Amino acid sequence: MKKYINSISAFQFFQLIRYSTLILVGIVFTKTALTQKAIGEYETFVFLAGAVSFFWLNGLLKALLPIGMSRDNSKTNVFSALVVIQSFSLLAALLLLVFQTFFSSTLLNGKPVPELVLLVVFVVVSPASNLVEYYYLLKKRNKAIVIYALVSFSVQFVFVVLPVLIKNDIQLAMRGLVLSSGLRYLWLLITLIGNREIIFSLSFIREHIKLGLPLVVATLLSGSAQFVDGFIVTSKFDEATFAIFRYGARELPLAMLLANALSNAMLPAFAKKELLTENLGQLKQSVQKLMHFLFPLTAILLVVSKPLFPVVFNAGFQESATIFNIYLLLIISRLMLPQTILNGLKISKPIMAASFFELIINVVLSLIFVQIWGIAGIAFATFVAYLFEKIYLAAVVKQRLNIGITDYLPTRIFLIYSAGIVVIFIFAELIF
Residue among 109, 135, 129, 159 at smallest CA distance from 49: 129
Sign of CA dihedral 309, 313, 319, 322: negative
Reduced to 3 states, what is the DSSP secondary structure of residue 345?
coil
**Among 23, 17, 15, which Cα is nearest to 246's?**
23
Widest CA span in the chain: 61
The angle at the Cα of 397, spanning 395 to 400, to the nearest 5 degrees, equals 105
Distance CA 108, CA 103 (A): 6
- Report how far apart, in Å, the C-alpha atoms of 2 and of each of 6, 7, 140, 144 are: 7, 11, 12, 11
User: Cα–Cα distance between 386 and 55 in angstroms, integer?
Assistant: 16
What integer pLDDT is reported at residue 3 of this predicted model? 55
Beta strands in 316-376 (DSSP E): none
Please, what's the b/e burial string for 313-337 (b: 16 or more CB within 10 A of its CB; e: otherwise)? beebbebbbbbbbbbbbbbbbbbbb
Quickly state the pLDDT bin for 132 (edges 50, 70, 90). very high
Tens-place pLDDT, residues 326-378:
999 999 998 998 988 888 887 878 887 888 888 889 889 988 998 888 888 98
- Please measure the distance between the N-terminal and C-terminal CA atoms of the chain and give it in whole angstroms: 43
* SS3 assignment, position 69: strand
State the Cα–Cα distance between residues 243 and 110, nearest whole angstrom: 17
Give the relative orientation of helices 320-328 and 276-312 as an angle to the nearest 10 degrees: 160
Q: Is 62 in contact with 345 (CB distance < 8 Å)?
A: no
| Spatial separation of the C-alpha atoms in residues 162 and 176, rounded to whole Å | 9
**Position 254 pLDDT exceeds 70:** no
Please, what is the average pLDDT of the chain? 86
For residue 426, what pLDDT is reported?
92
pLDDT of residue 144: 92
